[in-house]
Structure 1
């Protein structure tokens, strides 16, 4: 509870006015911007250096656990969130795409690997990554990830009939 809210509660109680705390919490107080609740996650810039590092760690983890012969790299970052929890937890929603670089080639850097052109070898996944980082120890780890192919629209009845 903020100091101004607490002060308002004290003033109202002294004057014998009944307090309804949930109602008071929703009132905007002059000069105060909405701040995230400590410990909750909130959106962060996709260009933040910590986000970029978490994306890189996530991509390497995906590639290390994938049986694909090609490397994947991030095609788009859809959502980037941060939460402070004994370090920093990054929650990322990204699209990754297969590159033309084979894992046997060991590329110098994933960003130098072009994406597969449209065709049979092109493949994309939508992924949810959670990365726990302790920046002051230069340490980060992917704690969970789930990837699935992008949703495809189901054909309508008339499209099925034409096949």
Structure 2
């Protein structure tokens, strides 16, 4: 039963993301699974960053997906300071993006939902 459910979920997700196994395709960041992968990568970036501010995605330059024993999501994004200081649980409307140059980041997130949480495979950012 579990394997049948997992296979069904993979088939449904595959149908929304790619045409052939292994094919890298452009994808829409509004697809819930893709958005979740990007949010996961941004969260990891903010946890590993030594800045006092939380960064947010200002612009998605490119987003792709690939079926590889799960899903590999690749993102190229511009990140800017949100104005929220770490740690915070409050929403911040303040925008301090003028204080620093934005980062251009490349993230790769490998998602195998049947095995547990996703993994951040690549996290490369530069000014």
TM (norm. structure 2) is 0.76
Report the CA distance between 1:113 and its aligned residue: 3.0
* Contact preservation (8 Å) 1:39, 1:85: yes
* Contact preservation (8 Å) 1:46, 1:79: no
Task: Give the whole-Å Cα distance in 1 for the aligned partners of 2:121 and 2:97.
Answer: 31
- Between Structure 1 and Structure 2, which shows a larger proportion of helix residues? 1
1:90 aligns with 2:73: yes
Determine helix, strand or coil for the equivalent of 2:22. Answer: coil
RMSD: 1.8
Structure 1 residue ranges without an equivalent (≥5): 1-34, 150-163
- Specify the structure having the higher radius of gyration (Cα): 1
* Stretches of 4+ aligned residues off by more than 6 angstroms: none
Structure 2 residue ranges without an equivalent (≥5): 1-17
Among residues 114, 117, 123, which one is paired with 1:139 in the alignment? 117
TM (norm. structure 1) is 0.61
Higher relative contact order (CA 8 A, sep 6+): 2
